[in-house]
Structure 1
Amino acid sequence: MRGFIDELRSIRERDPAAGGLLGLMFLTPSVHVMLAYRLGHRLWRWRMRFLARFTMQLARWFTGIEIHPAARIGKRFFIDHGMGVVIGETAVIGDDVTFYHGVTLGGLLPSVDSDGQRQKKRHPTIRNNVIVGAGAQILGAITVNECARVGANSVVVKDVPQGTTVTGIPARPVSARRVTDETTFQPYGTPSDLSSDARDKAIKGLLREVDILHNKLKMLEDLQGEAKQSESSFQPEATSLSASDRN
């Protein structure tokens, strides 16, 4: 019971719209699906596989969140909004992790040699204090390390280093400043300042170079125009001088 109250309090710390404890208990899909998961996971470990899957199927109908009962999930896991989240069979999630709606922890090429993939690790591992933004897809047996941030709608297919923020398709690091403090909460896993994006810097640098080259070219054209003007004004004088010399 103490652990359940602790989870409710942790949700209030991360969601300003959470309301009181009573509202959390009855109106928060994450709470409902995690209660079902704790039961379903225990049934799975007791080898009551059908009952475990049936429990999670009921939870899916009520919450729109799909969690395989074999997945391993730590303490104070929170799914904000919830709808459309999918967590695969061999996924592992640490403590104090936050997901937003539409997140998928899936496998790579699940339809290729399905029999050969059974009993193998094929879903991601999410370490402690990770935040995953809405619509993000994390695919394959990769690891998102502690305090990492995954931006909304990103597709992650490679390991994410500790404290790193990644966004994009495929996801790439966008912040040189790593998150090292688990208390630093970044809603939706997306940084408010993307000015440190390496590609953004490269494009801005190229635009500056183009602007410099454009200015230099304009200077050369102006000099060439002045030279032609001087040459044209000099030729008549030379002609008139040669005519006077002949006289």
Structure 2
Amino acid sequence: QEGKTVVAVCVENKLAGVIALADAPRPEAADVVKHLKSMGLDVWLITGDNLRTASAIARQMGINHVKAVALPGEKASQIKALQSQVNPLTMKPRVVCMVGDGINDAPALAQSDIGMAIGAGTQIAKAEADMVLVKSALTDVVVALDLARVVFSRIKLNFFFSIVYNVVGIPLAAGMFFPLIHRMMPPACAGLAMAFSSVSVVISSLLLKRYQSPVVGEIDLKCQVKEDAKVIELKNMVRQKLGPSHKTYAPLTNSDEWDD
């Protein structure tokens, strides 16, 4: 039910213990999924793992949509199927962002509207992606999408003010009010007004430097250290079971483990 793989450990043909193995999600993964949902986005998990393992990970992360046992081509087909759906809010085709790091993710990254490759992933995945997360932190997915929204909003704001500026400025420069005031705008003032319109757009765009990335949860480093300590303790126990005759398996200390 937890999607773990059970491994029996034997020492000198005797059962020493049983270990349950599983790929641990990144510490920030659950917070990233939660934040993406708060942005009004649907989150999917598309993986080549079996359904039980995928479902267990999805429950931990709070993901409602799961596609398991997916081959590379099937991942791309699933992305294409999502793109063919209509967003009920905008009544337009869905825009799909794919985040991946492996060779199996390359076709899906190429098919998606926005492909994000993890920086520590394979070269082919980074080649097919539109964006590479250099720090390999999932929180950068939220930052990238949030920054894209802020930039697009600023573009629309610049368009709005430029239209208003031109609607008012062009008739004024053309002499619209000449019959009333019997004066024309001096060419120098018209040139200054035209230059100011460009300067205002540039200043508005430069204000993006004040952008502050959203805070996505807090990683509990203490829990991570405790988990690592338990792994060290388990390794030492196995080495002690093997006895002093096995010189290769000398007990480790915490400092030795961290140095590795």
- TM-score, length-normalised on structure 1? 0.32
Larger Rg: 1
- TM-score, length-normalised on structure 2? 0.31
Higher relative contact order (CA 8 A, sep 6+): 2
